[in-house]
Amino acid sequence: MKGFRWLVIVLFLLVTLVPFLWLILASFKTSSELFSAPFKLPEHWSWDNYRSVLESHPIPKYFFNSLILAVSSTILAVAIATLVSYAFMYKFKFKPGLLLLITFGIFIPTNAFLVPYYFIVNWIGLYDSLAGVALVYAGVSLPLSILIVKTYMESIQHEILEASFIDGASVHRTFFNVILPISYPGMTTASIFLMITAWNELLFANLLTQSEGTRTLQVAIRFFLSTFSANYPVAFAAMVIAVLPTILIYSLLSEKIIGGLTAGAVK
């Protein structure tokens, strides 16, 4: 049984790690090496591809833009999701219908709303600004954030709320001093999902930005894989740069993600 467990672990590691290791190896190769011997080690380990990435385009600027977008849209969406989830801890009229309406957003394909999103962002004067993209990211990911945070809040004993009110705390004070501090695992889980999604997003970043000052890292990677020239090793180097933060976030906070996902599973 133990042997089988290890076999599954090794197979899983092969499936998940090998493509990533191959990507890293390929980012050190030349184009001809990559296509003549895709699975061999590079003949000469050189940072040339990474140097090309950093010298040809202002990658640190794009990196910073992606970071700002990921962080600001996540803060906005999680803040709203937390407030909404707290409201759902109380009883009020049409609660089930409202919840259904809010979470129904998960099933709506975002591509169907490209034109309205573009029109609205342009109309409020936020086209080609990070603020416009952040608002769209926050809006698109709101149903999922609410679902995650609400699921976590549901696992909180209702007696805590009652005890807080008996001690004289108001609805707001109960939220800030009682519910918020114990909801952070749910909020962290939602934040991680949202940050990774925002970091990797390409469709809206492409649609709603235009100039160099607002370009994100994911859009910039396309510079190395355009229709008229595709330098894969250099593109792979750019991809490694782009993928590192998400791996870092996941590795550091994986326990919180699992904790947040399983919270509320057993009451």
Partner 1 sequence: MTRKSKWLGAGASLVLAASLVLTGCGSKSGDAGSSPTGSASSSEASSGKEIDLTMLSSWSTDTERGKALKTIVDKFNQENAGKIKVSVDINPDWPSYQEKVKTMIAANQTPDLFNYNFNPNDLSRQQSGKLLDFTPYMDAEWKARFSEQDLQAMTVDGKLTSIPFEKAGILFYYNKELFTKAGIAEFPKTWDEFFQACDKLKAAGITPISLMTADDAWHTTNAFTYLAASIAGTSVFEPGKSLDTPEVAKAAEYLKKLFDNTTPDALGGNYSVSSNNFLTGNSAMIIDGPWLIGSIKEDMASKIGVAAAPTFGDGKVQPGFTVTDAYTPWAAGVQKDKNKEQAIVKFLKFMTSEESSKTFTLEGHILLSTKLNLSADEANKSGPVMGQYIQTNSKSPESIVNIVRTLKPGAISKLPSIIEKLALGKASPEEFAKELQAANQ
Binding residues for partner 1, total number by CB under 8 A? 47
As measured in angstroms, the least distance from the Cβ of 38 to partner 1 is: 9
Minimum distance from residue 249 beta carbon to partner 1 (Å): 20
Residues numbered 153-192 forming contacts with partner 1, rule: CB under 8 A: 170, 172
Residues 168 and 162: their CA atoms lie apart, in Å, by: 10
Q: What is the CA radius of gyration of the chain?
A: 23
Question: Applying CB under 8 A, which of residues 75, 87, 156, 169 lies at the interface with partner 1?
Answer: 75
d(Cα 195, Cα 36) in Å, to the nearest integer? Answer: 37
Q: Any idea what the Cα angle at residue 262 is, between residues 261 and 265, rounded to 5°?
A: 125
Position 129, amino acid: S
Q: Which positions ≥6 away from 102 have C-beta within 8 Å?
A: 84, 142, 143, 146
Instruction: Show the site string, 194-233: x = touches partner 1 by CB under 8 A, - = not.
Output: --------xx--xx--xxxxx----x--xxxxxxxxx-x-
x/- map, 87-126, partner 1, by CB under 8 A = ---------------------------xx--xx--x---x
Nearer to partner 1, 242 or 257 (CB): 242
Helices and strands in the chain, H and E counts? 13, 2
Tokens 């009229």 belong to residue? 93
CA–CA separation, 262 vs 102, rounded Å?
22
Provide the binding-site residues for partner 1, judged by CB under 8 A.
31-32, 34-36, 56, 61, 68, 72, 75-76, 114-115, 118-119, 122, 126-132, 134-135, 170, 172, 202-203, 206-207, 210-214, 219, 222-230, 232
